[in-house]
Amino acid sequence: MTTIIRNTLSLGIIAAVCTALVAATWLLTRDRIAANEQAWLEQSLAPALGAMNFEGTITLSRLDIPPPHDLPGSEAAIVYRVFDDGRPRALLFTVTARDGYAGPIRLLLGITVDGRVTGLRILRHRETPGLGDRIDQAKSDWVNQFPGHALGNPPLESWAIRADGGAFDQLSGASVTPRAVVGAVRKTLVYFDAHRDDLFSAPATEDAS
């Protein structure tokens, strides 16, 4: 009996020490983790802003748009508003194309305040290596065909891959993946067009800078 009590006590003490160690590590590292996350975020956002020039101090503010919404994907969409000395300059949308070949495709799309695409980055996908994964900026320059385009350029009906009569390149032997991404970009542009002013003026969900 005493052995059982002794073992139970030992296990309890070990568990308490481990919990205390984890808590202490978290307390000691949380500021650094937050700073690293912020740096990561800014690094990953910058490419989607492409060659935009800024004149003053850039600030970011985050807006989470809960479902249901008319953006691609069924989960909350995250939008970063980019201000240059307080003036609205661009929006960065993180949205999900749900109709990828192998699953959802998470993407980051930058749009200037006047509706031009600044850049597209694929954040997460499970598309097949050598086929659909060529949408990934690390694998090909497929995403680079979007910057400079807007909802009227090309016209809305041409926001599709060439196989579907649209203006955008597909990938040979893998049209399902690019069709999903182009569709998500088009849907995001349509949403931007309808909600631009509200998106810039809505209170931030959480300050990202």
Ligand X SMILES: Cc1cc2nc3c(=O)[nH]c(=O)nc-3n(C[C@H](O)[C@H](O)[C@H](O)COP(=O)(O)O)c2cc1C
**Residues facing residue 94 across a β-bridge:** 78, 108
Compute the least distance from the CB of residue 173 to ligand X, in Å.
5
Task: Give the DSSP letter string of 134-188.
Answer: GGSTTT-SGGGG-TT-BTTBS-GGG-SBGGGT-SB---TT--HHHHHHHHHHHHH
Residue 76 is a binding residue for ligand X (CB under 6 A) = no
Instruction: State yes or no: residue 127 binds ligand X (CB under 6 A).
Output: yes
| Residue length of the chain | 209
Nearer to ligand X, 61 or 177 (CB): 177
34 to 73, contacts with ligand X by CB under 6 A? none
86 touching ligand X, by CB under 6 A: no
Which residues is 153 bridged to in the sheet?
A: 150
Asked if 132 interacts with ligand X (CB under 6 A), we say: yes
Q: Identify which of residues 81 and 134 has a Cβ nearer to ligand X in the complex.
A: 134
Q: Is 128 in the site for ligand X (CB under 6 A)?
A: yes
DSSP string computed for 6-54: HHHHHHHHHHHHHHHHHHHHHHHHHHHHHHHHHHHHHHHHGGGGTT---
173 touching ligand X, by CB under 6 A: yes
Of the two residues 112 and 170, which places its CB atom closer to ligand X in the complex?
170
Cis amide prior to 129 (ω within 30 degrees): no
Residue 209 as a binder of ligand X (CB under 6 A): the answer is no
Decide: is 168 part of the binding site for ligand X (CB under 6 A).
Answer: no
Contact stretch for ligand X (CB under 6 A) within 88-96, 113-121, 126-134, 147-155: 126-134
Taking CB positions, which residue lies at the least distance from ligand X? 132
Is residue 101 part of the contact set for ligand X (CB under 6 A)?
A: yes
**Neighbour order of strands in the sheet with 117-124:** 117-124, 105-112, 87-97, 77-84, 58-65, 206-207
Q: Which residues bind ligand X (CB under 6 A)?
A: 101-102, 127-128, 131-132, 163, 170, 173-177
